[in-house]
Amino acid sequence: MRVGLYLAAAGLLLSGCATGGPTGKEVLAGDLAPKKSRLVIYRTSPLGLAIQPPYSIDGTAVGTSKPDGFVVCLVDPGAHQIAVGIELGIANLGGGTDKVSVTLRPGQTAYLKAEPQLGLVVGFITLSEVTENQGRADTVSLHKLESSCT
């Protein structure tokens, strides 16, 4: 009985991580079309494994925040607002979403790191822009997540 319970718990933990799909080394190595920009939103920390809120770009949902995974979107150059929401209907002291604004040049890639934070009732995810070198290094072994991006 206990063995079954432990196996079920292990399965739930593993199902919350990005374990399939191509890695950042494979997906993010190529050059970008000169008239497009690229946004990469990634999460390395397994802390708050059950917290997997949606990411949105300019108000459109594009993917989900999962540990060891990233979402990559080709966007038009210019200003964009990226947000991560709370998937539970419970308010937290840090607010319902965390938003970051970025302005991209043609051919530029911006990396946003999603990090879990602990709240009083529920955890939440915050976003911060990192340098391209750090973003590339952080995403090398992460897996591309399903998204509505091109």
The per-residue pLDDT for 97 is 58
pLDDT digits (tens, 9 = 90+) for 49-107: 778 889 999 999 999 999 999 999 999 999 999 999 864 444 445 544 588 999 999 99
How far CA 93 is from CA of 65, 117, 122, in Å, comes to: 20, 11, 9
The per-residue pLDDT for 89 is 45
CA dihedral sign, ordered 129, 133, 134, 139: positive
Instruction: Give CA–CA dist 63/98, Å, rounded.
Output: 15
Rounded (10°) CA dihedral 134, 33, 31, 112? 20
Q: Which of the four pLDDT bands, split at 50, 70 and 90, describes residue 112?
A: very high
pLDDT digits (tens, 9 = 90+) for 5-62: 333 333 434 444 556 778 988 888 877 888 999 999 999 988 777 788 899 999 999 9
Q: Which residue, chain included where needed, has tokens 């539970």?
A: 88
pLDDT at 148 over 50: yes
The per-residue pLDDT for 32 is 84
The per-residue pLDDT for 104 is 96
What is the pTM for the complete model shown? 0.80
**Domain residue limits, the chain:** 2-144
